[in-house]
Amino acid sequence: MTTSPTLNFDTDWSYAPAPETAAVDIADHYGLFIDGHFVDAKSGATFDTINPATEKELATVAEAADADVDAAVNAARSAYEKTWSKLPAADRGKYLFRIARLLQERAREFAVIESMDGGKPIRESRDVDVPLAAAHFFYYAGWADKLGYAFPGKDTPRPLGVCGQVIPWNFPLLMAAWKLAPALACGNTVVLKPAETTPLTALKLAELIRDAELPAGVVNILPGAGATGSAIVNHPGVDKVAFTGSTAVGKAIARSLASTDKKFTLELGGKAANLVFADAAIDQAVEGIVNGIFFNQGHVCCAGSRLLVEESIHDELIAKLQDRMQTLIVGDPLDKNTDIGAINSKPQLEKIEHYLKLGSDEGAEKWQPDSSLPDQGYFCKPTLFLHCAQSSSVVRDEIFGPVLAVQTFRTFDEAMTKANNTPYGLSGGVWTDKGAKVFKATAKVRAGVVWANTFNKFDPSSPFGGYKESGVGREGGLHGLKEYCALN
Amino acid sequence: MTPDTDTIVDTATDTSASPRLAVAKTYKLYIGGKFPRTESGRYYKLFTGGADSGEVLANVCLGSRKDFRNAVVAARAAQPGWASAPAFLKSQILYRVAEMLEGRSSQFAAELVSMGLEPDAARQEVTAAIDRLVYFAGWADKYQQVFSAVNPVASSHFNFSVLEPTGVVAIVAPETSPLAGLVSVLAPAILGGNTVVVLASHRNPLSAITLAEVLHTSDVPAGVVNLITGDKPELLPHAASHMDVNAVVYADDDPKPLVALREAAAENLKRIAVRKNTDWVSASAADPYAILDTQEVKTTWHPIGT
């Protein structure tokens, strides 16, 4: 059943380009940020960071190894003992307010660099990533001198010491903010590693932190790949580990910390079910499904990558969804018309393409819109897999791309059983116009974040994190503070 | 053999005036609301007064991996129903457990003495256990209010974070505080809607089994608490690696097994809570933050508007 004539936006309806024109300053080379200074790696090693939309190099970046990690942890330890933990709590807060303000002042620059380095549409980095990053610093800044109110029945908590933080490439600046702001507010110092494909905004943030005159060594930023992350996590001078990334790496970190008493928080993978009941507002649900899986090219741990739709509305919903997908513009991340930008890296594109083939091989029906892709760069069409079996790899595995697996259900209980039939438990979505059903369904989904009649909303005051194999601990909000404190 | 029966002489009916022959209790496991023997048929001898030999106090089940797995199946089956029981009901049930324990306090004290505790220490164990249950019974319908949040998000959404039980929890009970210690780790886990499998104290297992009898007659639904006696070093790896166990609360004083426990638990990211070096009788062991060890924070977003 089709609800409207087939749409073809590739004719007279095509949009004129609307590129973001803000000039940005990207240096040819970036060093490691240790003890308040940019320095090269002791080994001299560097790597290139490229623009995934053009495959052109943006800058070379120093790559940290064990000796650099050692220096950074020592700087963080010294800053922790000599300055940061001695500072009046209100002053810690004021430094964080400064960072938030400077980030707001330079928001456009950060947005453009984020889109260039990571491939995400400028509309998203401008309207979501950068404002939310600034809001995170603003939110936790205010907590710094109010920690005595955070934990009923307990005294003002103590900081943990030096935090080792490893962040992913899907929200490079925002994840840095999620990690740094609560750690610093609670009085810890930090060694942070951005992802190897997206180091630039973290390094620009280091410049900004220096401009904010934060005491040297309080924040240290070490670009690098897995080996650098491992060196930070396993450094004996690190008291607390925070990691966002894949479940496989998260488990490896949990194992490697088994013989230590380091605290850790893990934000890992997901395979969220987006449940659409027959009594949902269908057009609204279609928008939510699109936002759930195609936001940020599907490079979202909490993406709504499984669509569970009540059987009676399946055909109507899918027809409307396909019509909507025909209108999605895949292209230049810096174009303000773009809905879906570049896939973050070549290996990630290859992984997604592997699943596109696997889904078909395993019997699901692949559907893609007619839209065209740019000739250059790493791009992928938004994709549906229809009539998926529960055992299909595109239903089981986190693909981390714009790929939606569709299944149906007949009863409420079947919907919940299918939704929870996964080792993940990061997020979920529920679409229904019945208020009582919203609360019943959101309570039954075994996941840390559940969106009712919306999807992929974030806020610094809203705790985020997973059940089961999607992670340990929470980030954001009051509950995010506990991960960076020791309670007496 | 059991402590409170071997000295009882009923002279009214015993015309020969010779001591009445005591009836010994068989101590078994507690799984899914039943008291089975270990499927393995194995046992270990517990000697009176905690001695290494001498008078046999009980033949205690040496629980097996299969027993543990059966207990997890029972715990998983009971978990959704227990989680959805009203907080007020959970509170009343925990209070009922305290009432029942109070009524049998002399039996528990005598049993603790039979395992080697000094009489004073035994009485303290029992009264602390009762008071701890009353304390946590009161938390069952309050922790959610204290630890939840309504979050003031910038967008037009009603956003709130509540606690939900982690699921099925394995509890490694304290070795030396077999009643107060056990209750102090058991109560915070179950009052929050988790179901549990307890690995009881190896040296002092009898209180745990007798506590199971109390739980069984206090309206704690079958499968909510399951209890295995046996050899902890043998059973712990099974608990650590079981893929349908969501969390492990480790309250044994021996830190050595922790590394292997954490390594195995990483396979499905079980939450690990370590409660160590605690004086279980003292009020310091009554901390509502222990409830959080087996809770997950769920955040729900709900649009405001049309």
DSSP annotation of A193: E
pLDDT of residue B276: 82
Q: Dihedral (C-alpha) A414, A415, A416, A421: value to the nearest 10 degrees?
A: 80
- The pLDDT assigned to B18 comes to 85
Give the structural domain span for B79: 26-42+56-303
Structural domain spans, chain A: 19-268+470-486, 273-460
pLDDT at B6 over 50: no
The yes-or-no verdict on residue A221 having pLDDT over 90 is yes
Nearest chain B Cα to A446, which residue?
B298
Residue B14 half-sphere exposure toward CB, CA atoms < 13 A:
10
Give the other-Cβ count within 10 Å of A67's Cβ: 12
- Sign of the CA dihedral B76, B196, A246, B151? positive
For residue A132, what are the contacts with CB-CB under 8 A and spacing of at least 6? A174, A177, A458, A459, A460
- Asked whether the beta carbons of residue B301 and residue A469 sit closer than 8 angstroms, the reply is no
For all residues of chain B together, what is the average pLDDT? 94
pTM of the model as a whole: 0.95
Q: Under a CB-based contact definition with an 8 Å cutoff, are residues A132 and A457 in contact?
A: no
Q: Does residue B9 carry a pLDDT above 80?
A: no
**What's the rounded mean pLDDT across residues A133-137?**
98
For residue A1, the distance in angstroms to the closest alpha carbon of chain B comes to 28
Please report the ipTM that was assigned to this predicted complex.
0.96
How would residue B24 be classed by pLDDT, with cut points 50, 70 and 90? confident
What mean pLDDT is predicted for residues A113-140? 98
The pLDDT score that the predictor gives to residue A347 is 98
Average of per-residue pLDDT across B74-85: 98
pLDDT, average across residues A386-412: 98
Taking contacts as CB-CB distances below 8 angstroms, the residues of chain A near B166 are: 467
Distance from CA of A116 to the nearest CA of B (A): 28
Q: Residue A27, class by beta-carbon neighbours within 10 Å (0-12 exposed, 13-18 middle, 19+ buried)?
A: middle
Whole-angstrom CA distances from A48 to A52, A117, A220, B87 are: 12, 11, 20, 56
Residue B196 pLDDT greater than 90, yes or no: yes
| B150: confidence class by pLDDT, cuts 50, 70, 90 | very high
Q: Which of A442-446, B21-25, B171-175 has the lowest mean pLDDT?
A: B21-25
pLDDT (mean) for B224-241: 98
pLDDT of the residue at A488: 77
User: What residue of B is the nearest CA neighbor of A151?
Assistant: B147
Strand partners, A451: A429, B301
Which are the contacts of A175, defined by CB distance < 8 A and separation ≥ 6? A167, A168, A244
Mutation for A interface: B302, B304, B306, most A CBs within 10 A: B302
Left, alpha or beta for A471 (phi > 0: left; psi -120 to 50: alpha)?
left
Q: Does domain A19-268+470-486 have CATH number 1.10.645.10?
A: no
A-B C-beta contacts closer than 8 Å: 108
What gap in Å lies between CA B124 and CA B131, rounded to an integer? 10
Helix locations, A257-408, DSSP H? 282-294, 314-326, 346-361, 393-396
For chain B, percent of residues with pLDDT exceeding 90: 90
Assigned domain for B252 exists? yes
- Report the CATH number at residue B195: 3.40.605.10
d(CA A96, CA A39): 24
Question: What's A273-460's CATH class?
Answer: alpha beta
Q: How far apart are CA A469 and CA A425, in angstroms?
A: 7
| Residues of A catalogued as catalytic | 267, 301
